[in-house]
A and B are shown apart, each in its own frame.
Chain A
Amino acid sequence: MFRGRPVAGALFGFFCFFFIALDLLFFGVIPLNSPVITVLPIVGIVFGLVWAKFAPLPRRGDASVPPPAA
């Protein structure tokens, strides 16, 4: 059971980690033929799904709701 948004998590995880790989490439950290470029987006999908499963962020507006009195 996912608390968050698994489809969005997987999609944004894929692209976010893909862009991170491109950042590493364009700033000379890794070469063009590095396997990191193909591995990172896959890691991103997994990370996005795990992130969506636990959804650790507060729901919108939750921060302004006072905790129930004891």
Chain B
Amino acid sequence: MVKRVLLSFAALSLMGLFVLVSPPAAAAPTVVNGPCTGEGTFKDGGFTKTASETGVVEIPRKDDVAWQGAIAIPPTESAYSGKIELETPAGMPAISIDSWSGSSDSIANAGVKHYDIPSWVPANVEFKVKGTHTQGGITCSGFVKLKIKGSAVGPFSIASLVGTGLTGLGLLLAGRPKVGG
């Protein structure tokens, strides 16, 4: 049970490790809603981010993150559930990263999580990851904008440029009058 909550907070903290956020202060950015707090410290990256982060966070491709998260509700046994999704282009369904559910009286947790994003995932592309966690009838939700550190030049960007050139040539030639036309 405690492990499930640990997993919940770990999952919420993963991919930026700070989806949970502080209660909105007077002029605080509204990237997160709900009575939650959370932050993650990137060991190799050498920085700490909280869930109130509004800008794009550039993260190393792999790192160890010391995370902590809490939800401000009475520590009584209650059902919980949540999920993390990757937002995709308009009109396409979000991609599920993780989801969880169960019952627990734990309202806070912390730990260290190692992540290693595969090399084929392009760097320098901005992703928006959104997450929610509901426990004891209280829901926290939020999002974080991430970008993997590294050069934009890679197999995908080069293939895309080649594709643009080839299809652009085809488009150009489609503008020539038909023979006999």
Interface size on B, residues (CB 8 A): 36
Please give the distance in Å from B124's CB to the nearest CB on chain A. Answer: 5
Stretch at the interface among B4-12, B38-46, B72-80, B165-173: B165-173
Closest-by-CB residue of A relative to B157 is: A26
CB-CB contacts below 8 Å: A21-70 with B: 22-23, 25-28, 30-35, 37-39, 44, 47-48, 51-52, 54-60
Contacts of A9 in B (CB 8 A): 171, 174-175
Contacts of B178 in A (CB 8 A): 2-5, 55
Q: Mostly helix, strand, loop or mixed at chain A's interface?
A: helix
CB–CB B164/A51 < 8 A = no
Please give the distance in Å from B181's CB to the nearest CB on chain A. Answer: 6
User: With an 8 A cutoff between CB atoms, is B160 at the interface?
Assistant: yes
CB–CB B174/A19 < 8 A = no
The number of chain A residues touching the other chain, given as a range, is 35 or more
Contacts of A30 in B (CB 8 A): 126
User: With an 8 A cutoff between CB atoms, is B152 at the interface?
Assistant: yes
CB–CB B126/A35 < 8 A = no
Stretch at the interface among B25-33, B61-69, B88-96, B103-111: B88-96
Please give the distance in Å from A59's CB to the nearest CB on chain B. Answer: 5
User: Which residue of A5, A6, A20, A32 is within 8 Å of B128 (Cβ)?
Assistant: A32
User: With an 8 A cutoff between CB atoms, is B163 at the interface?
Assistant: yes
Between-chain CB contacts (< 8 Å), 12 pairs: A8-B170, A16-B171, A22-B160, A23-B157, A26-B160, A30-B126, A32-B86, A32-B89, A33-B127, A34-B90, A35-B89, A57-B172
Contacts A12-B168, A28-B152 known; list 6 others, CB within 8 Å. A6-B174, A15-B163, A32-B128, A35-B91, A48-B171, A57-B176
